[in-house]
Structure 1
Amino acid sequence: MKKMIFLTFAALAASGSAFAHPGHDLNTGFASGFLHPLTGWDHLLVMLSLGVWAARRPQQQGWQLPLLFVSVMAVFAALAMVWLPMSLAEVLVAASVLVMGGLLLAKVALSRWAQFSLVGVVAAAHGYVHGVELGQSWPALTGMVLATATLHGLGWLLGRQQQPWLKAGTQLLGGMMVGLGTYWLLA
């Protein structure tokens, strides 16, 4: 427990940005879009944690959550690219880091409807923010969607592992995400 608290505060202190989603110059093409989820802390943490969390759902539900996320994120990114202005999406992205971290920590049982609703809202927030940043770069959107699906897959593989140290690592990740998400919301 002491290690988790220490690492959470270390992550907060090391955070270079007061915003959950600093700009990442996404509008330069496929490679830029693909690299963004791998270099943006908000995206990286939420995508991995969603994969882990989905892998721990009952077999018939889990695989649908990453698929839902990628689909909703892509739709909202496309909408933001052609129509929607920016608003409270930054707050929703910060909250998504906090919520996904909490889900990793709490091990709560949610109804299927609640799982799909939660994932849909998180995906819409991420898609919205990224779509605004993308401008009109459809290749960047394609790269971002592919990298997001890859991170979900990696999280899924990690979530399926039964080693005790990986389960403890998941709890640590969840604690760090709760701290970081709270920091971003308050900053």
Structure 2
Amino acid sequence: MVPATIKRTSLSAILLLAAALPAHAHVGIGTTSSFTSGFMHPLSGLDHMTVMIAVGLWAALNGGKAIVDWPLAFVGVMLAGGTLGMLQVPVAFVEPGILASVVALGLLVALAVDLPVSAGVAVIGLFALFYGHAHGTEVSENAGGLGYMAGFAAATALLHAAGLAAGLGLGIRFPGLARAAGGACAAVGAGLAFGVL
């Protein structure tokens, strides 16, 4: 068992490092005017897939209300962030926040950090705001843009469900496997931060 002090110190150091790096976790994407393109986008990048699955894994490892509340918080706040982006309301540190989310959520799973549900909602909501805003700024300001965001939300929810299924199916019997997946997520984030991936 890793002492809580080491967990907090490691997480703080990684978040500060990720926030200071100039790398962009999110890159411009093709068409942003249909449900299908919105649905396909989260399935097309390591940052999206790892974070969305990590939310489900972390919720499964924490159990209880987190199983429902954390994925719903991500999707809901992501849509709110998308609305802010579509309205061109500025949000600071969007790209570093997306990059930090990959590392941080991976570490939260890898270290099996047990937070109260409300604290987990706050952490997940912050990262979801960055994802939503980044995509909201790219979508068309019409019905096609709304379709894109709906597709994006649907794929996000499915990736959360995949993480939940893996966490509940394997994580309970083999918690080391779920934690190793969190470590892999953090490694992806480090790879993105240093331009390796």
TM-score by length of 2: 0.78
CA apart distance, 1:23: 1.8
Q: Which has a greater percent of helix?
A: 1
2:150 to 131, 134, 142: 142
Note if 1:97 corresponds to 2:102.
yes
Q: What 5-or-longer segments of structure 2 have no aligned partner?
A: 1-22
Q: Which residue of 1 aligns with 2:184?
A: 176
Maintained 8 Å contact 2:61/2:112: no
Label 1:86 to 1:132 Cα distance change in 2 as closer, same or farther (>3 A).
farther
Label 1:107 to 1:86 Cα distance change in 2 as closer, same or farther (>3 A).
closer
CA apart distance, 1:172: 2.9
CA apart distance, 1:26: 4.4
Q: Which amino acid aligns with 1:138?
A: L
Maintained 8 Å contact 1:47/1:151: yes
1:1-187 equivalences under 5 Å are: 19-85=24-90, 87-136=92-141, 137-162=145-170, 167-187=175-195
CA apart distance, 1:57: 1.8
CA apart distance, 1:166: 5.8
Maintained 8 Å contact 2:170/2:177: no
CA apart distance, 1:52: 1.2
TM-score by length of 1: 0.82
Identity across the alignment (%): 32
Q: What 5-or-longer segments of structure 1 have no aligned partner?
A: 1-17
**How many residue pairs are counted as aligned between the two chains?**
170
Label 1:139 to 1:166 Cα distance change in 2 as closer, same or farther (>3 A).
farther
Q: Distance in 1 between matches of 2:175 and 2:31?
A: 34
Maintained 8 Å contact 1:91/1:185: no
Q: Which amino acid aligns with 2:107?
A: G
Label 1:26 to 1:69 Cα distance change in 2 as closer, same or farther (>3 A).
farther
Q: Distance in 2 between matches of 1:163 and 1:139?
A: 34
CA apart distance, 1:85: 4.2
Label 1:25 to 1:87 Cα distance change in 2 as closer, same or farther (>3 A).
farther
